[in-house]
């Protein structure tokens, strides 16, 4: 186990979600707080009438990254009040079938551009989603 891996005994929370019929069905969490119809987007030949895994991943990644940004901002004594983080998740064909790419951008109104960029880079190093995807998918900071 690498030094950055957590032990099962150290897990604070586990989210549980179940999918029915894959990309053209339904996803729901065990506690019922999330229960959504999923459909492929029109760009992939679907109806686009429900959400899709890429939107769900973008939502989770942006929320997690925003939390990491707040953590590093506290450490750096930077004001990220009113900031927003946007994750753009793209899906497309690759040599193995399909793959995803992610672009993370932020609006941080109370810091200059250089400070904002430094905060983004530090948040990218500590964000659990960034750690989980590092070396597996292309993630750019915009």
Q: What is the pLDDT of residues 21-77, one digit of tens each?
A: 999 999 999 999 999 999 999 999 999 999 999 999 999 999 999 999 999 999 999
Per-residue CA distances from 8 to 1, 4, 85 (Å): 12, 13, 30
pLDDT of residue 5: 79
Residues whose CB is less than 8 angstroms from the CB of residue 42 and which lie 6 or more positions away in sequence, other chains included: 48
Residue 3 has pLDDT above 70, yes or no: no
**pTM for the model:** 0.92
């Amino acid at each position: 186990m690498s030094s950055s891996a957590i032990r099962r005994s150290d897990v604070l929370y586990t989210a549980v979600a179940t999918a029915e019929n894959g990309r053209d069905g339904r996803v729901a969490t065990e506690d019922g707080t999330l229960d959504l119809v999923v459909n492929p987007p029109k760009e992939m030949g679907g109806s686009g009438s429900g959400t899709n895994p890429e939107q769900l991943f973008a939502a989770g990644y942006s929320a997690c990254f925003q939390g990491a940004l707040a953590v590093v901002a506290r450490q750096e004594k930077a004001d990220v009040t009113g900031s927003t983080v946007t994750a753009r998740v793209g899906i497309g064909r690759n040599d193995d079938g399909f793959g995803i790419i992610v672009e993370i951008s932020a609006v941080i109104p109370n810091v200059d551009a250089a400070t904002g960029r430094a905060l983004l880079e530090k948040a990218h190093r500590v964000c659990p989603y960034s750690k989980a995807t590092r070396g597996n998918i292309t993630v750019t900071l915009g």
